[in-house]
Structure 1
Amino acid sequence: MEVQVILNGPGRVGMNFARLLLDKADYLRDRTGCSPVLRAVVSSKGTLYSKTGLTLPQVLRWRESPASGTAHNGTGLRNDDCEYLPSESYEEILRKAAYIGPGVVVEATPTDIRSGQPGLDHLITAMNMGFSAITLAKGPLVVSYEHLVSLATQKNVSLKYSGAVAAALPTVDTALYSMAGSEIVEIEGVLNGTTNYILNSMASGKTYGQALAEAQSIGVAESNPTLDVEGFDSAAKLLILANTIWGLGLKLRDVEREGITGLSGEEVRKAAESGTPIRLLASAKLTGDQAGSGRSGWGTGLATCVSGSTARVSLSVKPCPIPAGHPFHALPGTSKAVRFSSKELGDVVVSGGASDVVGAAASALKDLIHIFEERFSRHAWP
């Protein structure tokens, strides 16, 4: 069957997702029985829409044209069986798509971890209209995790967000699938590739400023690196993971946070020379009465069994020296890692994963495959 895909945000990650989706369409069809149709690409300046499905050349031509507005209608897009819609609302675009059949919205707009916008409104609108959703944006989940998960359940749609939590590093999938039914009591992670790169550079003798400039010059760090270097990005990822696993309504203010900007090059270098390299460590630990006699299932806390009425979680992000033998001791470059500690399965460690836009896009494609298999394919779960 055909399943339409609507992409919000044709930035670097979004465009790489579109490329992967169209390049791997035959693979998706063979694996799931579902044929993806890229119905629309939505930007802040308008929407590229096709009743029969967009092709990569069409999307690239529209994305790369030098101006917005009516200039797009002069590029032959309409003659190519697609049209530029500069003024139709997001809801109108989804309504047009809903007449055709089932679909999935992929949210790849820039994230705002304080307001959750614009992705939060996009996700709520899409799920209310019966679309499953994938978000690469962390902001909506940081601000309104409980509401979004509850809405997905209420509307009987899927909500996936691998790309919002360390992207190519399979943090969410490990907790939800590989450790399903176990009681996870602690999470540790190096969840931000930018800060790990900077700390590794400082360990080799560079100052913070030199390491940051180097990271920016090769595209590892943003021009404004505040979210990364002040620990906000790691805190947001940790928060989403903790809410996924324990479902305790945690907020960003619950995370004790310290970034890496206060570290000197000498401090980081000496720590590395002494065999305890410094990492920006994200940590969440279940405290209180966590006997785990509660239920397992697909509620607000999706991955584990805890007694929600008495359980508490301590959350922190801060630079920490890592001793020899610890799984995070050797993490070169932009590498990331996570360790889940559980009562039944012991410690489960996952490390690696690309820290780039292709890795993030691939994580969204993985989520799409899971939605196809769970919701639409001939092998869909009952």
Structure 2
Amino acid sequence: MTVKLAFIGFGGVGQGLLQILLEKENELRLEEGLETQVVAVADVMKGSVYNPNGLDGNQLLSLAKEKRPLSEYIGDSSTITGLDSIRTIQETNADVIVEVTFTDVNTGQPAIDHCRAAFEKGKSVITTNKGPVALAYQELSEAAENNGAFFGFEGTVMSGTPALRLPRETLCGNKIHQITGILNGTTNYMLTEMEKGSSYEEALKKAQEQGFAEADPTSDVEGYDARYKAVILSNVVMQTPMIAANVPCTGITEVTQEMLHEAVKEGKRIRLVAKITRTESGVKAVIQPEKLDETNPLAAVPGATNAILYECDLAGPIFLTGAGAGLKETGFSLLIDLIHFTRQKAAVKQ
């Protein structure tokens, strides 16, 4: 099965997926029956290029690496440049839209409009953007289903670690009554560095130097990133709509080195924890620093690693840990979705 792809956004994550597809081309064809063909790329900074007969992946990666515009792509007479993102979605022959733009998590845009445009055309979407799943999950899921499209978003919570697919598929049949997690690698890295003796400012600087924190770290350190991920877990795993603005959220800006050292003396660790709980009155969520016993598996999670604990009625506690960031890891999350899209299509044909 050859799947035609259009990349909307072509930063590190999109390039990471394309690199994986090139590296594993033979394996994916032999093991999954998956063949891919990139037909279009549209990026707000790099420009766009489209060829219905396919684009050369290595040339696309070279242009990106050399920071040259996509208009310099050397193709045949069928090659078109200059389409914006919506026209790329609507007017190209892509089967799957790889939506990896930078999204405003307050509005979910432009990714929500990209998903809407794709589903209206019956095209499937795989994305790592939190905005659409946190802010418009119900609408977009229904639009995908009504138009026979696939909506994949595995990478929105823990990158390539399957924090969504595990409970939805492997743990199906269980009622999950609580989810607790360390869902932001930047803050976990900073807290562990502060435990080792760094000040808050020093820990933040190290996180930025390591590429874990942005130049403006507000979304991470104030807990907003973890809050959106908690909302996604409520929407998808608990199947309960939740509004991010209604979730109490406290970040790590008030956590001091002294507080961390005192916790260690008590045999505890302070971590920024997202907690989503099913109660008699509905599903509640909260993001805040918590003092965890050393016996709690979340307490032992080091550095920029993420982790999540599902409390199940049948299976008991299920603990999952792995990388919550990284270009190749996040690119892998898109591959997970692409493989499941292929399997779903194959099952429908049988």
TM-score, normalised to structure 1, is 0.86
2:88 aligned residue (86, 93, 101): 93
8 A Cα contact 2:268 2:291, kept in partner: yes
Task: Please state how far the C-alpha of 1:381 moved relative to its aligned partner.
Answer: 7.7
Mapped to 2, the partners of 1:237 and 1:215 lie a distance apart of: 20
2:189 paired with 1:189: no
Mapped to 1, the partners of 2:73 and 2:40 lie a distance apart of: 17
8 A Cα contact 1:283 1:315, kept in partner: yes
Question: In 2 relative to 1, CA 255–367 (structure 1 residues): closer, same or farther, beyond 3 Å?
Answer: same
Bigger shift: residues 13-22 or 200-209: 13-22
Question: Which residue pairs with 2:168 in the alignment?
Answer: 176
Question: Which residue pairs with 1:331 in the alignment?
Answer: 301
Question: In 2 relative to 1, CA 321–154 (structure 1 residues): closer, same or farther, beyond 3 Å?
Answer: same
Mapped to 1, the partners of 2:211 and 2:66 lie a distance apart of: 24
Mapped to 1, the partners of 2:78 and 2:212 lie a distance apart of: 36
Question: Which residue pairs with 2:216 in the alignment?
Answer: 224
Mapped to 2, the partners of 1:141 and 1:279 lie a distance apart of: 25
Mapped to 1, the partners of 2:291 and 2:86 lie a distance apart of: 49
2:318 paired with 1:368: no
5+ residue gaps, structure 1, are 289-310
Bigger shift: residues 37-46 or 123-132: 37-46
Question: Which residue pairs with 2:36 in the alignment?
Answer: 36
Question: In 2 relative to 1, CA 263–354 (structure 1 residues): closer, same or farther, beyond 3 Å?
Answer: closer
Mapped to 1, the partners of 2:67 and 2:274 lie a distance apart of: 42
2:158 paired with 1:163: no
Question: Which residue pairs with 2:110 in the alignment?
Answer: 118
Question: Which residue pairs with 2:52 in the alignment?
Answer: 51
Question: Which residue pairs with 2:13 in the alignment?
Answer: 13
Question: Which residue pairs with 1:301 in the alignment?
Answer: none
Question: In 2 relative to 1, CA 35–67 (structure 1 residues): closer, same or farther, beyond 3 Å?
Answer: closer
2:270 paired with 1:278: yes
Mapped to 1, the partners of 2:186 and 2:290 lie a distance apart of: 16
Question: Which residue pairs with 2:319 in the alignment?
Answer: 349
8 A Cα contact 1:199 1:279, kept in partner: yes
What do residues 191-225 of structure 1 show as CA deviations (whole Å, max 9, x unaligned)? Answer: 11111000000111111111000111111111111
Matched residues, percent identical?
30
Matches for 1:214-363 after TM superposition, within 5 Å: 214-288=206-280, 312-353=282-323, 355-363=325-333
2:75 paired with 1:78: yes
Bigger shift: residues 345-354 or 357-366: 345-354
What do residues 262-319 of structure 1 show as CA deviations (whole Å, max 9, x unaligned)? Answer: 111111122123321111000010001xxxxxxxxxxxxxxxxxxxxxx501100000
Question: Which residue pairs with 1:305 in the alignment?
Answer: none
**Amino acid across the alignment from 2:112:** L
Mapped to 2, the partners of 1:357 and 1:65 lie a distance apart of: 18
Mapped to 2, the partners of 1:341 and 1:234 lie a distance apart of: 19
8 A Cα contact 1:162 1:363, kept in partner: yes
TM-score, normalised to structure 2, is 0.94
**Amino acid across the alignment from 2:79:** E
**Amino acid across the alignment from 2:143:** L
* Secondary structure of the corresponding residue to residue 78 of structure 1: coil
Mapped to 1, the partners of 2:284 and 2:67 lie a distance apart of: 49
What do residues 222-255 of structure 1 show as CA deviations (whole Å, max 9, x unaligned)? Answer: 1111111100110111110111122222110221
Question: Which residue pairs with 1:151 in the alignment?
Answer: 143
Mapped to 1, the partners of 2:207 and 2:130 lie a distance apart of: 22
Question: Which residue pairs with 1:129 in the alignment?
Answer: 121
Mapped to 1, the partners of 2:256 and 2:21 lie a distance apart of: 44
Aligned residue pairs, count = 349
Task: Please state how far the C-alpha of 1:29 moved relative to its aligned partner.
Answer: 1.7
Question: In 2 relative to 1, CA 92–141 (structure 1 residues): closer, same or farther, beyond 3 Å?
Answer: same
2:71 paired with 1:63: no
8 A Cα contact 1:373 1:381, kept in partner: no
* Secondary structure of the corresponding residue to residue 227 of structure 2: helix
Task: Please state how far the C-alpha of 1:32 moved relative to its aligned partner.
Answer: 2.6
Task: Please state how far the C-alpha of 1:61 moved relative to its aligned partner.
Answer: 3.4
**Amino acid across the alignment from 2:287:** V
